Amino acid sequence: MKAEVWPTEVRGTWTAVTRFLSIGLYIPAIYFAGSLPINSYFLFNGAVWLVGLLAAGAWLLWGRETGQGVSIEMASGTTD
């Protein structure tokens, strides 16, 4: 959905930044989690899932969906 709502001028840059951050943070998380004892590993994994759950909840409350009667121009902020 992000490709629809980001303004065209910065769409490629923002897509690259978000992918770099998500993949870039995943790699150290794997190495960090691999050295944890099993109990700590489950706590770390639960924390990662909690962050995802909170992000999904935030999108549910404040995110803009273009399929709910909002034009693509309005969703991306390109209209006056």
Q: Is the confidence at residue 80, as pLDDT, over 70?
A: no
Query: Where does residue 44 rank: exposed (0-12), middle (13-18), buried (19+ CB within 10 A)?
Result: middle
The confidence band for 73, taking pLDDT boundaries of 50, 70 and 90, is: confident
Q: What is the pTM of this model?
A: 0.59
| Calpha distance 37→29 (Å, rounded) | 14
74 vs 58: CA distance, rounded Å: 20
**Domain enclosing residue 43, as ranges:** 2-76
Task: Read off the pLDDT of residues 27-41 as tens digits, 9 standing for 90 and up.
Answer: 888 898 989 999 999
State the average pLDDT over residues 58-69. 73
Domain count, the chain: 1
